[in-house]
Amino acid sequence: MQLRVPPGAPAALKVLAAAAAAPAPVRPHLGGPAERPQNPAPELELRLELDSGTVLFSPNAICQYFYLCRGEEPTDLTTQWLEWEATELQPAVAAALYLRLVQGRAGPEALGLLQPLLAHLEQQLARSGTSHLAGDAASVADVVVWGSLFPVLQDQTSLPSELQVLRSWFGAVSALEPCRAAAALLPEALRELRAHLAQHPPHLPGPPREPQQDEESPERALTDDDIAAAVEIWARGPAALPPPREPRTPVLPVEGERNVLITSALPYVNNVPHLGNIIGCVLSADTFARYSRLRGWNTLFVCGTDEYGTATETRALQEGLSPRQLCDRYHALHADIYAWFRISFDHFGRTTTPQQTSIAQDIFQRLLARGFLLQDTLEQLRCERCGRYLADRFVEGTCPSCGYGEARGDQCDRCGKLINAVELQNPQCKLCRGTPVVTPTQHLFLDLPKLEGQLEAWLERTWAAGEWTANARHITRTWLRDGLKPRCITRDLTWGTPVPLDGFRDKVFYVWFDAPIGYLSITANYTEHWERWWKNPQQVELYNFMAKDNVPFHSVVFPCSLLGADDNYTLVNHLIATEYLNYEDGKFSKSRGVGVFGDMAKDTGIPADVWRFYLLYLRPEGQDSAFCWADLMLKNNSELLNNLGNFINRAGMFVCKFFGGTVPAMALTAEDQRLLARVTLEMRQYHQLMERVRLRDALRCVLGISRHGNQYIQVNEPWKRIKGDERDRQRAGTVTGVAVNLAAALAALLQPFVPGVSAAIQAQLCIPPERCGLGPGLTCTLPAGHRVGTVSPLFQKLEPEQVEALRQRFGGGQAKEHPPASAPPPAPNTPAAPGDPKLIQELTEQVAQQGNLVRQLKAAQVEKAQVDAQVAKLLELKRQLALAEGRSPEVPKGKRKK
């Protein structure tokens, strides 16, 4: 594999240190001044090219890959640190380096930007009692955080003397051989970085947020006020819950209420959505929409299929259908998939409607009348044999960047680079395989430079008040930093919204001008009063959900279209973008049968709510994440079955078994009141996180509340106390009553994430609909005398054999390239030749696979003999790897702490 590190890349240190720590051979390619990239953001050009042809671009994903090669899988803690580094530390470090390198403001001023973050590191290291961020051994988290800090600090003496624990950690990590080797490159890197920062100054951030340090953090010590407030909320009972909203059809804005409009990026109609598509758009949006409704906010959630464009035309030709027939088929397929995943759209529409044509053409005419459109000539490929211009996907050829022979006319699937079709080498028409010729043609452009001032003023207001994810802000700043360019809004196609202008009536609108207008037209298909949502910015809050690749079109192109149209349009207030979800150690691929797609999920036998839970649990909020079958089994069996399901089942069963199905009387003690306070703080934290659309962290709050409940039951042992004297029986009743009310609260907290499970809990505990709302804390919604129904288990255990069968079934080509963990390839019988890169790579992969299998077996608590047999295989593979690397094959004694 080859690591490409451009000059001045801010992420170079951590990536090079992680590469030096990897057991597999890495060929670093360090660019010199002559190779300075034209891209103004050089960190985006850093990439790792694997021997399989896969390319990794995210610096933290590259670091994680190197550590995976060592057999060290990411833990929740390492993942949290990597996300914190990406979203909190990196922006502050960039600003500090700008002050120091460009403005010469070294010392306290530059370091001051990092002070809250350094204090957080000190506090977390001191609290954990470990020598490193994620345990007693250095992990990928240590290298990544160190790599960001080192250019600013360079040695631990730069740190304030009071940060003793942090100074010790920084010195220890700096002394690691991989980090020392990377640090030797720093002087040259800083010179290159200074030049880059001078041309492209970073945004100087305000005071950075410290993760998990919110005012209501449940980790802080309880105060008397906390306890008193929790007891007061408990005593208010159902009165503390928001009243349920009366259902209205259609949902329209209401003056004086919080009116929330939610959109999910429109899924393209010709593709079956895979798990990454689902979590990136519709599932994330649905989770927030459900929370919004639970809060009593007036909420409308719309989405639909994006149906125009070249991809639809090409797929229709391949399948022998008209574009309309293809769209009808796939729209129904999408609707079925989302219904199975319990996505609660108020309306799921499509873009091929008369309303789309009317609204898109009206916006176009307003832009034209206000002077925001240009005409210019484009050179395009034209197939004379077919008599048509070959837009985007109608042409294939060799990528000019990486040499991939099947690159499309808009993007290369191998290196990910955007392509202009005329740049392709050896282009071919996809329809007839003929050779097209370059021909000039007239097109219309949106004059983005002319709208740039309006856009920047709007962004400044919106960013000050709205919740935009860090990647959405960064991507938008990058576009503005480069200066906006006119953007073509027409295409030489037949399948699209017609352009209503003489000289262009044989063209249609380009999908990225046309598609976002689909939000408006889909709402117009839902209600004739659609303008009350989309021309009402004073009363409506708009949330857009999408993956990061859609950000520029929602933060720059679409807002510019609406600002230029000047018709009081509602613009996005909160832009929520995820990173990418990968599949195991690669990407989803329908053609190769790799990964789970929406139409396959229900055939696995795994319930929809388990899919929802796991996708939200690993939602890629700050960096890319990966779906893993072994991890799905672990999270199902540990979090859903043993934690959440165990607590709710026990709470309900105690009421049925010990008290005849009736909630007993409760006499709260100081211990009970502390539980109320602790759970109430967790619930407040949950609300804070949900309102900031940090869905994954909010889900962890719910699981934390369930753990509090399990511990409460375990400590008080009501099954024993019920057999004791009157005082013990009364205590058993109090514990059971509090526990079942906690279970009722969990039903509400879970509703946005796993609505089917939430409904099952409500049914089993017979919770009236008016008591299913989300209150400010733990309330006594099931008072003494309330009768519960039949209680039964909510979840089923996933077995290793079942999961392994599914992993192989959805492994596709990857299963051939990487044999399944349950059957690692046999170790080579030939003696290892020290230094053979190919053999080292093969053995490294085998060690990683076998290590995964051992961890899976241990997590599943299989028999010790079976685990020992697989451990023996792992040790043998490690021995052969050591020989291949020229190291001593002796197995070290003692266990390495994680």
> Predicted confidence band at 836 (pLDDT cuts at 50, 70, 90)?
low
In this predicted structure, what is the pLDDT of residue 791? 94
For residue 300, which phi and psi values (nearest 5 degrees)? Answer: -125, 125
> Predicted confidence band at 782 (pLDDT cuts at 50, 70, 90)?
very high
CA 782 to centroid of chain Cα atoms: 36
Two structure tokens written together for 351: 């873009």
Crossing angle between the packed helical segments 695-716 and 608-617, to the nearest 10 degrees:
110
| pLDDT tens per residue across span 551-578 | 999 999 999 999 999 999 999 999 999 9
In this predicted structure, what is the pLDDT of residue 699? 96
Region 801-830: what's the mean pLDDT? 57
Q: Please tell me the least confidently modeled range out of 410-424, 685-699, 713-727, 814-828.
A: 814-828
Helix ranges (DSSP H) in 85-114: 90-97, 108-112
Q: Which DSSP string do the residues of 744-796 spell out, in sequence order? A: HHHHHHHTTT-HHHHHHHHHHTT--GGG-S--SS----S-TTPBP--------
Region 787-811: what's the mean pLDDT? 92
In this predicted structure, what is the pLDDT of residue 827? 39
| pLDDT tens per residue across span 330-345 | 999 999 999 999 999 9
CA 766 to centroid of chain Cα atoms: 35
Within 13 Å of residue 514, how many CA atoms lie on the same side as its CB? Answer: 28
Q: Please tell me the least confidently modeled range out of 232-236, 272-276, 625-629, 833-837.
A: 833-837
CA 248 to centroid of chain Cα atoms: 33
Within 13 Å of residue 710, how many CA atoms lie on the same side as its CB? Answer: 17
Q: Which DSSP string do the residues of 783-845 spell out, in sequence order? A: -TTPBP--------PPPHHHHHHHHHHT-HHHHHHS--TTSPPPPPSSPP-TT-HHHHHHHHH
In this predicted structure, what is the pLDDT of residue 812? 65
Two structure tokens written together for 754: 């796993």
pTM of the predicted model as reported, rounded to 2 decimal places: 0.70
Region 169-195: what's the mean pLDDT? 76
Helix, strand or coil for residue 108? helix
Q: Please tell me the least confidently modeled range out of 116-120, 403-407, 812-816, 863-867.
A: 812-816
Residue 468's closest CA among 379, 567, 542, 558?
Answer: 542
- Residue type at 367 in one-letter notation: L
Distance, CA of 858 to CA of 505 (rounded, Å)? 66
Of residues 854 and 303, more confidence is placed in 303
Cβ-Cβ contacts under 8 Å for 318 (sequence gap 6 or more): none
In this predicted structure, what is the pLDDT of residue 33? 38
Within 13 Å of residue 857, how many CA atoms lie on the same side as its CB? Answer: 20
Two structure tokens written together for 749: 């907290």
Q: What totals of helices (H) and strands (E) does the chain contain, helices first?
A: 36, 20
Q: Which DSSP string do the residues of 467-532 spell out, in sequence order? A: ---HHHHHHHHHHHHH----EE-EES-SSSPBP-STT-TT-EE-HHHHGGGHHHHHHHHH-TTTHH
What is the CB neighbour count within 10 angstroms for residue 789?
14
Contact 895, 134 (CB under 8 A): no
Distance, CA of 876 to CA of 881 (rounded, Å)? 9
In this predicted structure, what is the pLDDT of residue 820? 36
Region 503-531: what's the mean pLDDT? 96
CA angle (363 as vertex; 360, 365 as ends), nearest 5: 105
Q: Please tell me the least confidently modeled range out of 203-217, 364-378, 395-409, 702-716.
A: 203-217
State how far the alpha carbon of 542 is from the alpha carbons of 3, 225, 305, 481, 539, in Å: 41, 36, 19, 25, 10
Distance, CA of 170 to CA of 174 (rounded, Å)? 6
| pLDDT tens per residue across span 447-462 | 999 999 999 999 999 9
> Predicted confidence band at 892 (pLDDT cuts at 50, 70, 90)?
very low
Q: Is the peptide bond between 783 and the residue preceding it cis, with omega within 30 degrees of 0?
A: no
Distance, CA of 738 to CA of 747 (rounded, Å)? 14
- Residue type at 772 in one-letter notation: C
Region 683-706: what's the mean pLDDT? 95
Two structure tokens written together for 372: 């925001």
* pLDDT score of 217 more than 60: no
In this predicted structure, what is the pLDDT of residue 385? 86
In this predicted structure, what is the pLDDT of residue 109? 60
Residue 500: burial class (beta carbons within 10 Å; 0-12, 13-18, 19+): middle
Region 517-535: what's the mean pLDDT? 98
| pLDDT tens per residue across span 20-72 | 887 766 776 655 433 333 333 333 367 787 776 666 767 888 888 888 887 78
* pLDDT score of 354 more than 80: yes
In this predicted structure, what is the pLDDT of residue 431? 78
For residue 456, which phi and psi values (nearest 5 degrees)? Answer: -65, -40
Distance, CA of 581 to CA of 239 (rounded, Å)? 41
- Residue 39 DSSP one-character state: S
- Any idea which residue has 């995976």 for tokens? 68
Distance, CA of 301 to CA of 264 (rounded, Å)? 8
Residue 591's closest CA among 416, 738, 413, 829?
Answer: 413
Distance, CA of 641 to CA of 636 (rounded, Å)? 6
Mean pLDDT of the chain: 84
Distance, CA of 385 to CA of 516 (rounded, Å)? 34
Q: Please tell me the least confidently modeled range out of 255-264, 285-294, 853-862.
A: 853-862
In this predicted structure, what is the pLDDT of residue 59? 81
Distance, CA of 693 to CA of 697 (rounded, Å)? 9
- Any idea which residue has 């053979």 for tokens? 836
Strand order through the sheet with 395-398: 407-408, 395-398, 425-429
CA angle (622 as vertex; 469, 167 as ends), nearest 5: 115
* pLDDT score of 504 more than 80: yes
Distance, CA of 859 to CA of 853 (rounded, Å)? 10
Contact 190, 101 (CB under 8 A): yes
- Residue 52 DSSP one-character state: T
End-to-end CA distance of the chain: 27
Of residues 328 and 852, more confidence is placed in 328
- Residue type at 793 in one-letter notation: P
Cβ-Cβ contacts under 8 Å for 441 (sequence gap 6 or more): 377, 378, 379, 380, 382, 389, 492
What residues form DSSP beta bridges with 838?
none
Strand order through the sheet with 47-49: 27-30, 2-5, 47-49, 55-56
Distance, CA of 767 to CA of 755 (rounded, Å)? 15
Of these ranges, 194-208, 528-542, 843-857, the one predicted with the greatest mean pLDDT is: 528-542
* pLDDT score of 842 more than 80: no
What is the CB neighbour count within 10 angstroms for residue 376?
10
> Predicted confidence band at 8 (pLDDT cuts at 50, 70, 90)?
low
In this predicted structure, what is the pLDDT of residue 207? 39
Two structure tokens written together for 47: 């990439």
Two structure tokens written together for 332: 């129904």
Contact 774, 243 (CB under 8 A): no
> Predicted confidence band at 540 (pLDDT cuts at 50, 70, 90)?
very high
Residue 290's closest CA among 709, 693, 805?
Answer: 693
Contact 132, 124 (CB under 8 A): no
- Any idea which residue has 């919604």 for tokens? 781
- Residue type at 40 in one-letter notation: P
In this predicted structure, what is the pLDDT of residue 182? 81
Contact 756, 608 (CB under 8 A): yes
In this predicted structure, what is the pLDDT of residue 267? 93
In this predicted structure, what is the pLDDT of residue 37? 38
> Predicted confidence band at 212 (pLDDT cuts at 50, 70, 90)?
very low
What residues form DSSP beta bridges with 147?
none
* pLDDT score of 729 more than 50: yes
CA angle (147 as vertex; 121, 477 as ends), nearest 5: 90
R_g over Cα of the chain? 29
Helix, strand or coil for residue 49? strand
The per-residue b/e assignment along 716-732, b for 16 or more CB within 10 angstroms, e otherwise, is bebeebbeeeeeebbbb
Q: What share of the chain is helix, strand, coil (3-state, %, to 5)?
A: 50, 10, 35
In this predicted structure, what is the pLDDT of residue 535? 97
Q: Is the peptide bond between 250 and the residue preceding it cis, with omega within 30 degrees of 0?
A: yes
* pLDDT score of 785 more than 80: yes
Distance, CA of 647 to CA of 740 (rounded, Å)? 9
In this predicted structure, what is the pLDDT of residue 137? 85
Q: Please tell me the least confidently modeled range out of 487-491, 590-594, 669-673, 820-824.
A: 820-824
Two structure tokens written together for 149: 């800090």
